[in-house]
């Protein structure tokens, strides 16, 4: 438990160093193998004090092919970015 509290404190301290605001980025996958439409991945990162909200609302909706991403995998991608 102490280890997790320490990790939490380290993470919050690191987040506090980032200026408050909304940071946005967009990228696209070529297509899903069924249609030729690019698949947009847009992320808005809102930093407020020691908290961060990661918002994928403007990302393309699910596609016919097998590139859709369940919530746990989305979370994993976010964890990975913040651990680096």
65 makes contact with other proteins (CB under 8 A): yes
Q: How far is residue 50's CA from residue 15's CA, in Å, rounded to a whole number?
A: 5
30 makes contact with other proteins (CB under 8 A): no
Instruction: Decide whether 28 or 77 has the Cβ nearer to other proteins.
Output: 77
Task: Single out the residue of 55, 54, 56, 45 nearest to residue 18, CA to CA.
Answer: 45
Half-sphere exposure of 6 (CA within 13 A, CB side): 3
Among 2, 4, 25, 57, binds other proteins (CB under 8 A): 4
Residues that bind other proteins (CB under 8 A): 3-4, 33-34, 64-66, 70-73, 75-80, 83
């Amino acid at each position: 438990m102490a280890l997790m509290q320490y990790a939490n404190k380290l993470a919050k301290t690191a987040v506090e160093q980032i200026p408050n605001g909304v940071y946005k980025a967009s990228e696209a996958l070529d297509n899903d193998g069924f249609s030729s439409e690019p698949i947009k991945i847009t992320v808005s990162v809102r930093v407020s004090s020691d908290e961060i909200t990661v918002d994928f609302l403007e990302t393309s909706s699910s596609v016919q092919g097998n590139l859709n991403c369940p919530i746990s995998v989305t979370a994993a991608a976010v964890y990975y970015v913040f651990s680096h």
